[in-house]
Amino acid sequence: MSSSNSVTVQILDKEYSIICPPEERSNLVSAARYLDGKMREIRSSGKVIGADRIAVMAALNITHDLLHKHDQPDVQASSSTREQVRDLLERVDLALSTDDRTKSS
């Protein structure tokens, strides 16, 4: 890969040059911004000192959130799915009742 495939991101006031495919650039930049934000939160709490320790704590927090999210169903998606199913059932009921009226006429 050439240097044209290199992306520079800034995390906790340090620049990192990372080689990645062009189609993944925006994802990489988003991930770096997210990580930077998490690391800044941890640093500002004052409980963890040192970039290495802050990075490890951020990685643990992000991993925990990711794993926990997989364990918990998405309430909004679940609610939306229920609404869609309810809507479809109403349509089926309406279609069946209309069909029954048409047959009895």
Model confidence, pTM:
0.62
Round to whole Å and give the CA distance between 105 and 103. 6
Cα angle 50, 51, 56; round to 5: 105
**Whole-number pLDDT of residue 18:** 93
Q: Which two tokens stand for residue 12?
A: 């906790």
Round to whole Å and give the CA distance between 2 and 87. 53
Yes or no: domain 1-72 corresponds to CATH 3.30.160.880: yes
Q: Average pLDDT for residues 15-33, to the nearest whole number? A: 93
Pick the range with the lowest mean pLDDT from 29-33, 52-56, 89-93, 96-100: 96-100
**Whole-number pLDDT of residue 45:** 93
Q: Average pLDDT for residues 37-60, to the nearest whole number? A: 92
Q: Could you give the residue ranges of the DSSP H alpha helices within the chain?
A: 25-45, 51-71, 75-104
